[in-house]
């Protein structure tokens, strides 16, 4: 048996691994706690495990973090790590501290195949899915390195958003065990309400997530009609808005929160007019229980797009709020360290010519006048 990285096993998987080593399944719980609750990487630290088991583990397994390429700390406390996942690929995780919570934004793929028009990761093209251990390694490293630097043994990360690089629902098989480890009381012990999967709208996988591991759901909407969304989120051609909203409603039957969050990236002159705000009201009101999150676009040179002005974002928000839709405008964080997803990794490698394709295909806007 080749040495395996134990960061890749949820508790069930670790129990099966312990059985293969001729050990009782309950040993897995002790081991799991050492790894995820205490951040141990060295089997010799695990003082309540028999020496014979530690010897076997040393022989057959390891606990290995992803190499850190860089760490950037913003003046607002946001921290962004760039991790090496081999073959010239890198992924990012971002820690966002707030007074009442600490949120970690985690990546699920190296690059992304969806190719959203405004997304730096989409411009880099798709390289590969991350394994479960590579998803969890971002959390494991962030949580335990933050505890060390803050001099605490208490949990630092209280919320996780699968909103970094990649479309998590296109890496479903690796995602679900990672989510289970985040939720497990012997692991990170986060409530389902505090773990959010963000998707561009992979309808069949929304249905599966609802059955397998319902956590909070955020959907990248970005447009109130199919022609515009087709251009901004190409997956819309496969799963148009009406199908997506139906899937969201079905998801709510089992969701830990009683609303879906719709993300809407504000692009100057593209999707930010008062008319489109009215369309959004018409689309969502009394259709799906939801909250709207308006996101100021974090411009990057290859996009050819601009951030909407604050006035325009406010005017857009007001239309929604007046109509009774719960709407927030996301604060920009870590601007000084390029904290929007994919911006650092894009400097490491551009694996495809996707960015050129997209820059050459300008977004055609009907009924929206550029400011
Ligand atoms: S926004 Fe998300 S789904 Fe779209 S290209 Fe970027 S990483 Fe992929």
What pLDDT shows up at residue 2?
77
350: pLDDT strictly greater than 70: no
368: pLDDT strictly greater than 50: no
Residues 6+ apart with CB under 8 A from 178: 10, 132, 135, 136
Q: Which of 183-192, 319-328, 343-352 has the lowest mean pLDDT?
A: 343-352
Domains, the chain, ordered by start:
4-62 (1.10.150.530), 68-359 (3.20.20.70)
pLDDT per position as a tens digit, 232-264: 999 999 999 999 999 999 999 999 999 999 999
What pLDDT shows up at residue 221?
97
Q: Is residue 92 annotated as a catalytic residue, yes or no?
A: yes
Helices marked H in the chain — which ranges?
11-20, 26-32, 51-60, 120-124, 132-150, 172-183, 203-212, 226-232, 241-252, 274-284, 310-322, 345-348, 354-359
SS3 at position 236: helix
Specify which residues 70 forms β-bridges with: 82
361: pLDDT strictly greater than 80: no
Cβ contact 123:168 at 8 Å: no
Q: How far is the CA of 21 from the centre of ligand 1 (A)?
A: 40
What pLDDT shows up at residue 1?
60
Per annotation, catalytic residue among 92, 134, 143, 263: 92
What pLDDT shows up at residue 298?
85
Residue 151: pLDDT band (50, 70, 90) is very high
What pLDDT shows up at residue 6?
98
Q: Is residue 311 annotated as a catalytic residue, yes or no?
A: no
Q: Is the CB of 165 under 6 A from ligand 1?
A: yes
Between 340 and 164, name the one with better pLDDT.
164
Q: Is the CB of 115 under 6 A from ligand 1?
A: yes
Structural element, H or E, at residue 4: strand 4-5
Q: How far is the CA of 87 from the centre of ligand 1 (A)?
A: 21
52: pLDDT strictly greater than 60: yes
Structure tokens at 18: 């312990």
Cα-Cα-Cα-Cα dihedral sign, residues 246, 251, 252, 254: positive
pLDDT per position as a tens digit, 5-33: 999 999 999 999 999 999 998 899 999 99
Residue 331: pLDDT band (50, 70, 90) is confident
Distance CA 181, CA 189 (A): 8
Residue 143: pLDDT band (50, 70, 90) is very high
SS3 at position 259: coil
Q: Is the CB of 116 under 6 A from ligand 1?
A: yes
Is 304 marked as a binding-site residue? Answer: no
What pLDDT shows up at residue 371?
29
pLDDT per position as a tens digit, 263-317: 999 999 999 999 999 999 999 999 999 999 999 998 888 888 999 999 999 999 9
- With b for 16 or more beta-carbon neighbours within 10 A and e for fewer, the 202-236 pattern comes to bbebbeebbeebbbbbbbbbbbbbeebbbbbbbbb
- Residue range 221-241: mean pLDDT, rounded: 97
Q: How far is the CA of 57 from the centre of ligand 1 (A)?
A: 38
């Amino acid at each position: 048996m080749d040495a395996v990285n134990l960061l890749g096993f949820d508790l069930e998987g670790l129990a099966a691994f312990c059985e293969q080593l001729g050990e009782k399944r309950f040993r897995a719980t002790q081991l799991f706690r050492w790894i995820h609750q205490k951040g141990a990487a060295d089997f010799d630290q695990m003082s309540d495990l028999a020496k014979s088991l530690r010897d076997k583990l040393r022989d057959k397994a390891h606990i290995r973090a992803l190499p850190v390429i860089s760490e950037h700390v913003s003046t607002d406390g946001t921290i962004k790590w760039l991790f090496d996942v081999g073959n010239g690929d890198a992924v990012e995780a971002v820690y966002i501290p707030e007074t009442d919570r600490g949120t970690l934004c985690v990546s699920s793929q190296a690059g992304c195949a969806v190719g959203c028009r405004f997304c730096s990761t989409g411009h880099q093209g798709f390289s590969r899915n991350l394994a479960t251990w590579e998803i969890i390694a971002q959390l494991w490293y962030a949580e335990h390195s933050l505890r060390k630097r803050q001099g605490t043994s208490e949990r630092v990360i209280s919320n996780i958003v699968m909103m970094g690089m990649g479309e998590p629902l296109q890496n479903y098989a690796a995602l679900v065990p990672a989510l289970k480890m985040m939720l497990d009381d012997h692991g990170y012990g986060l409530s389902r309400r505090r773990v959010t999967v963000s998707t561009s709208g992979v309808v069949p996988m929304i249905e599966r997530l609802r059955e397998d591991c319902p956590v909070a759901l955020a959907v990248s909407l970005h447009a109130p009609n199919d022609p515009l969304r087709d251009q901004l989120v190409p997956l819309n051609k496969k799963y148009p808005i009406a199908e997506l909203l139906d899937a969201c409603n079905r998801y709510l039957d089992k969701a830990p929160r009683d609303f879906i969050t719709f993300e809407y990236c504000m692009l100057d002159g593209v999707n930010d007019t008062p008319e489109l705000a009215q369309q959004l009201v018409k689309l969502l009101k009394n259709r799906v229980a939801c909250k709207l999150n308006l996101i100021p676009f974090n411009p990057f040179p290859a996009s050819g797009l601009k951030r909407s002005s604050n006035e325009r974002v406010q005017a857009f928000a007001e239309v929604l709020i007046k109509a009774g839709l719960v709407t927030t405008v996301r604060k920009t964080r870590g601007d000084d360290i390029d904290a929007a997803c994919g911006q650092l990794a894009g400097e490491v490698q551009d694996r495809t010519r996707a960015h050129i394709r997209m820059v050459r295909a300008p977004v055609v806007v009907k009924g929206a006048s550029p400011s």
